[in-house]
Each structure stands twice: as C-alpha cells, then as structure tokens.
Structure 1
Amino acid sequence: NTGIDLAPFDRVAVGASIRYGKHRPCVAQFMRERRGTLEAKRCAFFSVNIVARKPQKNTPQTNPYMKKFLKQIGWRPSQLAVFAGKLDYPRYTFWDRQIIRFIMFLTRGPTDPATVIEYTDWQQVETFARALGDA
C-alpha cells in the first residue's frame, strides 16, 4: 500500500522500469488495486526497458514487456508508451553488469563493460508528457 490518495488528481502517470526481465510486482498490484479509480481518470502507463532500443520493439503494441504487463493488470490505461532508457555498465554492480552483458550478447547489443549509451528518445518522452497534459 503506497498510501497515495489519487482522488485529487484528474490525470495519473505510472512508470516502471524492467529489472531482471520484469516490472516490479508492486506496480501491477498498484494498478490492479486502483483500477476503478484509474479508469475514471486519464491514466497513462510507461515502461522503460533496454529492449525498446530496437525499432521493432519500441511501441506498446510490439514491446514484449508492455504486452505482458497489460495482460497482468487486465485492463488498458488510456495512454501507453515505451522508452528505451540508458545502458550504463559502469554504474551497475559486478553481477548486474555480467547478467546484462550476457543478455546484450544474446540480443547483439553492446557488451563492452565501459559502455554508457543513452537510448532514450527525449522527444518521444516530451510528446508523451504533453499528450497527457493536453487531454
């Protein structure tokens, strides 16, 4: 329970990143428990995951993590987005770095442990935010 009272808000944006191949379970729980409230408002959900760096997986319709999340919560917020995020090997713990490098090897991504790449399309983020504000 987050203790957040959503009643005063007419718009709600919820975002979650992927860690170890999943959104945190508490995000889906939050969305399911507050479904009625969220459906009565303009609700947006965005996912940040490095898989979205690939053009064929960077939309809500094509991103496997977004599709799985929507199935988990059992409904569809009025606005959806997927952002690629940042790959920053030097900031990761040793084990996280090794796991991510292995995943990147499998998906033909960068594996050099010194790599830092900002994949986020900030114009896309701004467009998403403006659309939520304009609704």
Structure 2
Amino acid sequence: MKAKTGIIYSSVDGQTLKICNKLREGLLQNNQNVELFSITDFNEDVTNYDKLIIGASIRYGVHNKEIIDFINTHKKQLDSIKTAFFSVNLVARKPEKNTPDTNPYVIKFFKSIDWTPTLVEVFAGKLDYKKYPFFDRIMIQFIMWMTKGPTNTKTEIEYTNWEKVAAFGIQLKNL
C-alpha cells in the first residue's frame, strides 16, 4: 500500500493554509499520497497516516487551542508515526527569531505540551492590515509598534520565505 501523508492546519488569515498548499504541491510532485485538512474537519484515525504534518498560526501569542487539544488527545498515536510541526507567526520576520530554537512562540508551545515531533520549523507570516477586523487591526498594530514593525494600516507584506518553505518540503519528502 502506498504511504499516506496528512497535513492538518489552523489558519486565521490564510497564510498557514497557503504554506500547507505549497508543501502539499511539492509532496504530490514527488508522487506522494497527501491529504489536507483544516483542524476543524479532521476526524480520521491518525495511524492511517505514515506521516502527519501540523501547521499552526499564532494569534495574540498562542497557537490555536484545537491544535493543542488535538496533539494532547492523540499524543500516543502521533508518537507512533513520523510527524512534523510548523508555526507561522510575524515574530519570525526577524532573522534572530526565525528558527524553532529562537522563536519565542515555538519555544513556549513545546514547553506547554508533551510531544516532540520528528521535524519542527517556523515561518514568518503575512501582515495585511486591510484584512483584519477593527479590534485585531488595532491589537496587531500595537504589537507591531512594540516590536518595531510596520504600523501603517495600508501595509501588506508577505514575510514568508518561500525558499525556506521549499527546503522544509524536501525534508518532509525524506521524513
């Protein structure tokens, strides 16, 4: 039977999904059987997959609660297969905070759960003030101000390094 890879994601503004689609594309080109699911739509048996990739975005300093609950509930099954986790956040736009060992959200995430995936990565997300509801826009603008990022509400910057995403995709193929 052909090996099967699952990709599960949570995305607030769509950038994590965009990254997942890019990873899926690369795996499909490598003739791998890949299924993509939103965390809210995933109700498969984890062990039906040889590899499971989980991508999660950050909002207000935390990863999606459903992702955390999923990992905590399925830890034993996740530990029995090859797994990968990646985080998408705007802090990763800074070179000194764009690795799993230096990104504060990834560090905090793994201190809060009892799971060690086979592979971990972090990607910078996209800043698009026009997409955000009023409250989110004000909060993100404040966070950007505090972290010396762009605060102009017309700003739209995709910080995602697509070469880094492609390199991660190659690592996933060989996982």
TM class by shorter chain equals over 0.9
Which aligned runs of 4 or more in structure 1 are off by greater than 6 angstroms? none
Aligned equivalents of 1:114, 1:52: Cα separation in 2: 21
Give the deviation of 1:127 after TM superposition: 1.1
Give the superposed CA RMSD: 1.2
Give the deviation of 1:121 after TM superposition: 0.4
Structure 2: segments with no counterpart, 5+ residues: 1-39
Q: Give 2:140's aligned amino acid.
A: I
Match of 2:138 among 98, 106, 116: 98
Q: Please list the CA deviations of residues 71-129 of structure 1 after superposition, one character each: whole Å capped at 9, or x if unmatched.
A: 12112111000000100011111111111011100110000000000000011111112
- Pair 1:60 & 2:108 matched: no
- Pair 1:79 & 2:122 matched: no
Q: How many percent identity over aligned positions?
A: 49
Q: Secondary structure at the match of 1:28?
A: helix
TM-score (norm 2): 0.74
Match of 1:40 among 80, 85, 101: 80
Contact 1:89-1:113 within 8 A present in 2 as well: yes
TM-score (norm 1): 0.95
Aligned equivalents of 1:5, 1:133: Cα separation in 2: 21
Contact 1:28-1:72 within 8 A present in 2 as well: no
Aligned equivalents of 2:134, 2:54: Cα separation in 1: 30
Aligned equivalents of 2:69, 2:104: Cα separation in 1: 19
**Count of aligned pairs:** 135
Q: Identify the residue that residue 71 of structure 2 maps to in structure 1.
A: 31
Q: Relative to total residues, which structure has the larger strand share, 1 or 2? A: 2
Give the deviation of 1:3 after TM superposition: 2.0
Give the deviation of 1:4 after TM superposition: 2.1
- Pair 1:20 & 2:60 matched: yes
Q: Please list the CA deviations of residues 23-82 of structure 1 after superposition, one character each: whole Å capped at 9, or x if unmatched.
A: 111211111111111111110000000000011110000111101111121121110000
- Pair 1:124 & 2:145 matched: no
Contact 1:87-1:119 within 8 A present in 2 as well: yes
Aligned equivalents of 1:72, 1:29: Cα separation in 2: 11
Structure 1: segments with no counterpart, 5+ residues: none
Q: Give 1:17's aligned amino acid.
A: S
Contact 1:18-1:47 within 8 A present in 2 as well: yes
